Amino acid sequence: MLVPLAIRCFRDPQTFAANATATCWTDLLQQARSLGLTAQLHALFARHQLLQSLPETVQKHFAWGWRYYQKQRGSLFYELMQLEPFLGQADYPCLLLKGAAYQALGLTVSEGRLYSDIDLLVRRPQLTDCKDKLFFAGFFEPAISAYDKHFYLELSHENPPLYHVKRGTALDLHFALFPLAGRKKLNTELVFASASKIAGSCLQVPNLSYLYIHAAIHFFWQEEQHKLVKDLIDLDLLYGQLAEQNLLLQLLNDAQQFGALEPTVNTLLLVQSLFKRALPAEVTAKLVNSPYRRDVARALVLWQLGSGVRARLAGSLWYLRGYHHKMHWRALLRHVWVKGKLAWQQRHQPG
Amino acid sequence: MAFFSLHTPPFSVRIDTDSPTLFNDLSVLYPPEILLQSPCIKHIYDFHIDYKRRFAGKSRPYHFRTGSEHFRMADANQLIPTFEWGLNWCVSAYQQQYLAIHAAVLEKNGRALIMPAPPGSGKSTLCALLMLRGWRLLSDEMCLIDPASGQLQPYVRPVSLKNASIDVIEQYHPEIKVFHRTPDTEKGTVAYLRPSDSSWQGANVCAKPAWIVFPAYQAAAESVAVFTMPKADTLLYLAQNSFNYAVFAAQGFSLLSQLVENTESYRLEYSDTEQMLECVEQILC
């Protein structure tokens, strides 16, 4: 199996740097730019104190990426500061998710990681009130069709995206971690129970377990193919911090209670095989004997990391499988029917 | 032809194409020490460009891509303009080493002239004519400011001429050959001028900024009129026309402030190109 350069690099940066040819570096810089990983590579080599020993051109590109990341990180903190006075009035928990949460906690995975939007989680009954507060902070919801609105609120796991009227910042307001149409029976209340306050802020963050579980769900139960490498690197870095803090058994326990053991087990197995991580014996034993192992699904991931016909075929199957997870077949059929009908009506309406 | 490479300081590019003509077409614009028939095995390239047909068939367009990012498609007769625009896109979108402004830059006697201006203002025409009068071309498209020194880094590439400016150059310099005249592009007819030998020779030599001139061709205006630009206006215009001012944040503001403080800024309205050139050289030199 041909492992992508970026994964080989994160697996063992020292060996990679020692053996990489000029062509290899050119290809890595290219991959990193496409995946938005340049600044993360800068952080990786800096953590391993290898930055100064890298070829000059590589250092130059990493510095480009780092400069861009610093600007993004500044913008993210600025946006969070702008939210404080409005969400500070809320008498319910508002949790940061994904990139914003990694950054707020200062996790290793946040070093050099770019973000495209801010993800916020509130309980479903508080969604409208939170939206009202965000409205006064300058966020608005662009007009969408009645069906799309229904889709977001009843079948998805978030409100339609909100945008800041002046700065254009995108904000996703979640009320669950996974689309409701997937009928996964996930206990979102446990995420709130795990959360802790960010010092000096009204915002909260889920604990490390739930941050991993969330990343695992969005990796293993979805259809997207273009971010697989980036998501795997996120998972590996989150895994690293869980392992450091001896929280892997806690992770499996949390995943079971939450209802997402399948993505957690399989992403851990992928991290183990792709990044050559030595999992603790008791964790390995649990993974080996787990009824939630999905060998075919993991094979599809590995095949997609390659190229050619097999990768394309695996990608197509992954796409179908992702939708199967995100939408129960009855919801999917109804969705396809309604969207098709609306598109037909739009094309054939008079005038 | 599969791989070849382009070494235009400060950036190098590896190109993978299935076009049988692209390399030869580029070889009339770039000298052989810049455009290499095969990439150097020991060189790490800044950008890899994929410029291929995605499906077989002579009428199929070429796709200009870097990594997974698609820039644009080009018919076979528009390969060169799309290549040149694509290269500009790579640099303007991804490099964060220099503060980059959309402007032409030339140098004479160690002092550099920056010409930021919107399309249609006569920037490229003026740039080409000054180069043909002995000024060293640093770039006709991108002013790269080194944040460490405040000096201007050359990025020498062929001068892109559009529509009427092609005729102006041919009228003033009938001895100069204009290459790859391509009609019906999205910018109208475009053609390219080779940088002068001194420009290629100085491709690694930075220059100190001395003047900022905003040219504005106005057919109905006086033959030439020069106005001093307020420094605050100049700074705002440069910031608005920068590709990465926001990324440089406070350092970007400081760099532009220094640039504007240490240079003279003018707005130059003209309808007579010959008089305008004389005026420019008189004021600046």
Question: CB–CB of A34/A6 below 8 Å?
Answer: no
Rounded to two decimals, the ipTM of the complex is 0.92
B136-156, pLDDT tens digit by residue?
999 999 999 999 999 999 999
- When mean pLDDT is compared across A340-349, B4-13, B85-94, B196-205, the lowest value belongs to A340-349
Mean pLDDT for the stretch of residues A345-351: 77
CATH of the domain at A26: 3.30.460.40
A138-158, pLDDT tens digit by residue?
999 999 999 999 999 999 999
- Say if residue B285's pLDDT is above 90: no
- B58 part of contact set with chain A, CB < 8 Å: no
**Per-residue confidence (pLDDT) for residue A2, from 0 to 100:** 61
Question: CB–CB of A6/A233 below 8 Å?
Answer: yes
**Quick one: which of B130, B131, B156 has its CA closest to B142?**
B156
- Say if residue A189's pLDDT is above 90: yes
**Quick one: which of A213, A212, A237 has its CA closest to A37?**
A237
**Per-residue confidence (pLDDT) for residue B237, from 0 to 100:** 95
Residue at A326 is within a domain:
yes
A17-76, pLDDT tens digit by residue?
999 999 999 999 999 999 999 999 999 999 999 999 999 999 999 999 999 999 999 999
Contacts of A114 in chain B (CB under 8 A): none
Average pLDDT of the residues of chain A: 95
Domain count, chain A: 1
CA of A73 to nearest chain B CA: how many angstroms apart?
Answer: 11
| Cα separation, A119 vs A177, whole angstroms | 11
Among the partner-chain residues B43, B66, B246, the one whose CB lies closest to the CB of A22 is B43
Mutate to test the interface with A, among B7, B43, B44 (most CBs of A within 10 A): B44
Residue at A263 is within a domain:
yes
With an 8 Å Cβ cutoff, the interface of chain A facing chain B consists of 21-23, 25-27, 29-31, 33-35, 55, 57-58, 60-61, 63-65, 67-68, 71, 74, 226
Segment A305-309 long-range contacts (CB within 8 Å, at least 24 positions apart): A305/A1, A305/A2, A305/A3, A305/A4, A305/A7, A305/A228, A305/A229, A306/A1, A306/A2, A307/A2
- Say if residue A338's pLDDT is above 60: yes
Give the residue on A whose Cα is nearest the Cα of B91. Answer: A64
**Per-residue confidence (pLDDT) for residue A335, from 0 to 100:** 87
| Cα separation, B158 vs A96, whole angstroms | 49
- Say if residue A351's pLDDT is above 70: no
Cβ B41–A23 below 8 Å, yes or no? yes
Residue A95 neighbours by CB distance under 10 Å: 23
CA of B14 to nearest chain A CA: how many angstroms apart?
Answer: 9
**Per-residue confidence (pLDDT) for residue A1, from 0 to 100:** 54
Contacts of A64 in chain B (CB under 8 A): 94-97
- Say if residue A297's pLDDT is above 70: yes
Cβ B94–A67 below 8 Å, yes or no? no
- Say if residue A183's pLDDT is above 90: no
Question: CB–CB of A138/A232 below 8 Å?
Answer: no
Residue at A323 is within a domain:
yes
pLDDT band at B218 (very low <50, low <70, confident <90, very high): confident
pLDDT band at A226 (very low <50, low <70, confident <90, very high): confident
Among the partner-chain residues B40, B43, B67, the one whose CB lies closest to the CB of A33 is B67
Mean pLDDT for the stretch of residues B94-117: 95
- Say if residue B184's pLDDT is above 90: yes
Residue at A58 is within a domain:
yes
Residue at A349 is within a domain:
no
Cβ A67–B96 below 8 Å, yes or no? yes
| Cα separation, A100 vs A83, whole angstroms | 13
Give the residue on B whose Cα is nearest the Cα of A24. Answer: B44
Among the partner-chain residues B43, B67, B96, the one whose CB lies closest to the CB of A64 is B96
Mean pLDDT for the stretch of residues A244-266: 97
| Cα separation, A211 vs A219, whole angstroms | 12
Contacts of B44 in chain A (CB under 8 A): 22, 25-26, 29, 55, 57-58
Q: Which one-letter DSSP state was computed for residue B46?
A: S
Residue at A221 is within a domain:
yes
pLDDT band at A332 (very low <50, low <70, confident <90, very high): confident
B229-264, pLDDT tens digit by residue?
999 999 999 999 999 999 999 999 999 999 999 999
- When mean pLDDT is compared across A142-151, A260-269, A278-287, A324-333, the lowest value belongs to A324-333
Cβ B97–A64 below 8 Å, yes or no? yes
B22-77, pLDDT tens digit by residue?
999 999 999 999 999 999 999 999 999 999 998 777 778 999 999 889 999 999 99
Mean pLDDT for the stretch of residues A173-191: 94
- pLDDT > 70 fraction of chain B, expressed in percent and rounded: 99
CA of B246 to nearest chain A CA: how many angstroms apart?
Answer: 8
- The owner of tokens 């409205």 is A135
CA dist list (Å): A152 to A324, B117, B143, B166, B228:
17, 45, 46, 54, 56
Mutate to test the interface with B, among A64, A77, A229 (most CBs of B within 10 A): A64
Q: Which one-letter DSSP state was computed for residue A132?
A: H
Mean pLDDT for the stretch of residues B92-98: 96
Give the residue on A whose Cα is nearest the Cα of B47. Answer: A30
CA of A216 to nearest chain B CA: how many angstroms apart?
Answer: 24
Residue at A139 is within a domain:
yes
Instruction: Identify the domain containing residue A75 by its residue range.
Output: 5-344
**Per-residue confidence (pLDDT) for residue B120, from 0 to 100:** 76
**Per-residue confidence (pLDDT) for residue A329, from 0 to 100:** 85
Cβ A27–B48 below 8 Å, yes or no? yes
Average pLDDT of the residues of chain B: 93
Cβ A64–B47 below 8 Å, yes or no? no
CA of A252 to nearest chain B CA: how many angstroms apart?
Answer: 35
Which residues between 79 and 138 in chain B have a beta carbon less than 8 angstroms from any beta carbon of chain A? 94-97
pLDDT band at A349 (very low <50, low <70, confident <90, very high): confident
Mutate to test the interface with B, among A25, A61, A77, A312 (most CBs of B within 10 A): A61
| Cα separation, A28 vs A233, whole angstroms | 14
Residue at A55 is within a domain:
yes
CA of B90 to nearest chain A CA: how many angstroms apart?
Answer: 11
pLDDT band at B284 (very low <50, low <70, confident <90, very high): confident
Give the residue on B whose Cα is nearest the Cα of A30. Answer: B67
Q: How many CB pairs under 8 A join A and B?
A: 55
b/e per residue, B20-50, with b = 16+ CB within 10 A? eebbeebeebbeeebbbeebeeebbbbbbbb
Mutate to test the interface with A, among B11, B13, B43, B96 (most CBs of A within 10 A): B96
Question: CB–CB of B47/B94 below 8 Å?
Answer: yes
CA of B256 to nearest chain A CA: how many angstroms apart?
Answer: 18
